[in-house]
Amino acid sequence: MSNPAASFEPYRWRLLGLAYRMLGSMADAEDAVQETYLRWHAAHREKVSDPRAFLMTTTTRICLDMLTSARARHEEYVGPWLPEPVVETAALAPDSGTELAEDLSFALLLTLDRLSPLERAAFLLHDVFDFSFSEVAAALERSEAACRQLAARARAHVRAVPPRGTIAPPARSSEIDAKHTQLMSAFVAATRSGDLNALTQLLASDVRVVTDGGGKVAASLNVLDGADRAAQFLVGVTRKGWREDFTLRFATINGQPGVIVDGPEGPVQTAAFEIEGDVIRALYVVRNPDKLRHLAATSVPHESGPA
């Protein structure tokens, strides 16, 4: 236990997965995990009987403190708020391998965001990261009974708001289903050519489009519901906003099929698709540049230039 880095590293990705689910921000999650490491470095490590519990508990408490200021930022946020998109979701999955543990979809993360911080922590620790309720109680400094109630309330919220569309690829796979690639290619072609009719055919009648620009770049200030309204908006923003030096690449975003738009300066937009059958049920578009900095243009673009 003499080397703090060597004893900490095996837990780093699990801690990042917990912090990202708690905070919805990879940058904030990395800050929380770094603070956990500093506390681990300063701790009497030889007296820690269960490093996993110590580190998970420390990260949870740091995140709970950070959520206080995060909630204040949420209230001042311009337009809809979305979590920071992540591409490497497999590394953030806990060891349990349950379907819930692998779900990093925007729908689930937005549901978690509506829970109280303690509900979120109790639910994640118990249902996703396999903490016993006695461990949850120690982490949250609440009684076991209170923690059971917190997790039950959170579970009811999560069940009440299931993802609107199927989460197609498993989180541990970076491959996009060929049918989904075809659907997204048709979507890109329709938005770029301005073909409203073709685009509307690709959208569910009750499609939901959420765009997060954070008040820093152009984005809808409201959630858009309905195929006609969504199609007009998408064609309009593509017509105004597409540049010849933009390139597109397909990627899994939060475990869902998606498209990343890159400019010469780096990623300028991500779009994650919820697909059901052969239609798009929901589209989550992140344009806030602060939320895209951690995504590097690493893969070869699938398309380039205007259609």
136 and 23 part of one domain: yes
Tally of domains within the chain: 2
Written as six digits, the tokens of 92 are: 């953030």
Q: Given the structure tokens 């984005």, which residue do they identify?
A: 219
**Sign, CA torsion 167/172/177/183:** positive
pLDDT at 258: 95
Residue 71 lies in a domain: yes
Question: Residue 52: which region, alpha, beta or left (left: phi > 0; alpha: psi -120 to 50)?
Answer: alpha
44 and 144 part of one domain: yes
19 and 125 part of one domain: yes
Residue 32 lies in a domain: yes
Cβ neighbours around 297 below 10 Å, total: 16
Long-range pairs, 195-203, Cβ under 8 A, ≥24: 195/235, 196/231, 196/232, 196/235, 199/231, 199/234, 199/235, 200/227, 200/228, 200/231, 202/279, 202/280, 203/227, 203/230, 203/231, 203/279, 203/280
pLDDT at 46: 86
134 and 212 part of one domain: no
Residue 182 lies in a domain: yes
58 and 20 part of one domain: yes
pLDDT at 98: 65
Q: What is the pTM of this model?
A: 0.89
pLDDT at 172: 46
Cβ neighbours around 42 below 10 Å, total: 9
Residue 106 lies in a domain: no
pLDDT at 160: 83
* β strands within the chain, DSSP E: 203-212, 224-225, 247-253, 256-263, 266-276, 279-286, 303-304
The b-or-e profile of 187-209 (16+ CB within 10 A means b, else e) is bbebbbeeebeebbebbbeebbb
135 and 254 part of one domain: no
69 and 18 part of one domain: yes
143 and 15 part of one domain: yes
The low-confidence residues of the chain, meaning pLDDT below 50, are: 1, 166-172, 297-307
Give dist(CA 15, CA 60) in Å, integer.
Answer: 9
pLDDT at 99: 67
Cβ neighbours around 118 below 10 Å, total: 19
253 and 139 part of one domain: no
134 and 256 part of one domain: no
pLDDT at 164: 54
Helix (H, G, I), strand (E, B) or coil at 78: coil
Written as six digits, the tokens of 162 are: 């299931």
Burial of 287 (0-12, 13-18, 19+ CB in 10 A): buried
Give dist(CA 212, CA 83) in Å, integer.
Answer: 9
CB 233 within 8 A of CB 207: no
pLDDT at 301: 41
- Residue-number span of the structural domain to which 30 is assigned: 4-78+116-156
Residue 73 lies in a domain: yes
**Amino acid in the structure at residue 186:** A
Residue 52 lies in a domain: yes
pLDDT at 306: 35
Residue 98 lies in a domain: no
Q: What is the CATH number of the domain that holds 239?
A: 3.10.450.50
pLDDT one-digit tens code per residue, 121-137: 999 999 999 999 999 99
CB 106 within 8 A of CB 167: no
In the sheet that 203-212 helps form, which strands lie side by side, from edge to edge?
A: 224-225, 203-212, 279-286, 266-276, 256-263, 247-253, 303-304
Residue 89 lies in a domain: no
126 and 211 part of one domain: no
